[in-house]
Amino acid sequence: MAAQHKHGAHPPKAGTVSRLTRIEGQVRGVTRMVEEGRYCIDILTQLKAVRAALTKVESAILKDHLGHCIEGAIVAGNVNEQRKKAAELVALLERAR
């Protein structure tokens, strides 16, 4: 079954999906650690690893957005689309504060 994509979206990268699947497994492992009453420092260490893995995925998706979506608007010469893409990115960065 083919995935549906919103306007401006593109098919997911296999590497990104694979990383997210591994992260999902890590989170399930942390859940088990909490349920088992494991040592707090061990749990915190695993949470830090999950956060680092998510940061890497976020960075990869951001780079892809810059190289695909924003670059596409620039190459097309569509000023309105360029402004829209830039505004989306600024709004995202402001929410991260």
Which residues contact residue 45 at a Cβ distance below 8 angstroms, ignoring those fewer than 6 apart? none
Is 43:70 a contact under the CB 8 Å cutoff? no
27 pLDDT band, cuts 50/70/90, is very high
Residue 6 lies in a domain: no
Beta carbons of 66 and 82 less than 8 angstroms apart: no
28 compared with 79, residue with greater pLDDT:
28
Can you spell out the DSSP letters for 3-28?
PP--TT--PPPHHHHHHHHHHHHHHH
Q: What CATH number is associated with residue 37?
A: 1.20.58.1000
**What's the pLDDT at 96?**
80
Residue at 46 is within a domain: yes
With cut-offs at 50, 70 and 90, classify the pLDDT of residue 4.
very low
Question: What is the domain count for the chain?
Answer: 1
Residue 7 lies in a domain: no
pLDDT in tens, 29-87: 999 999 999 999 999 999 999 999 999 999 999 888 888 888 888 889 889 988 998 89
> Which residues form the domain of 57?
14-95
* Residue 39 maps to a domain: yes
pTM over 0.85? The answer is no
The answer as to whether 23 is a domain residue is yes
Any domain includes 22: yes
Tell me the Ramachandran region of residue 8: left when phi exceeds 0, alpha when psi lies from -120 to 50, beta otherwise: left
Write the DSSP symbol of residue 38. Answer: -
Under 8 Å between Cβ of 82 and 90: no
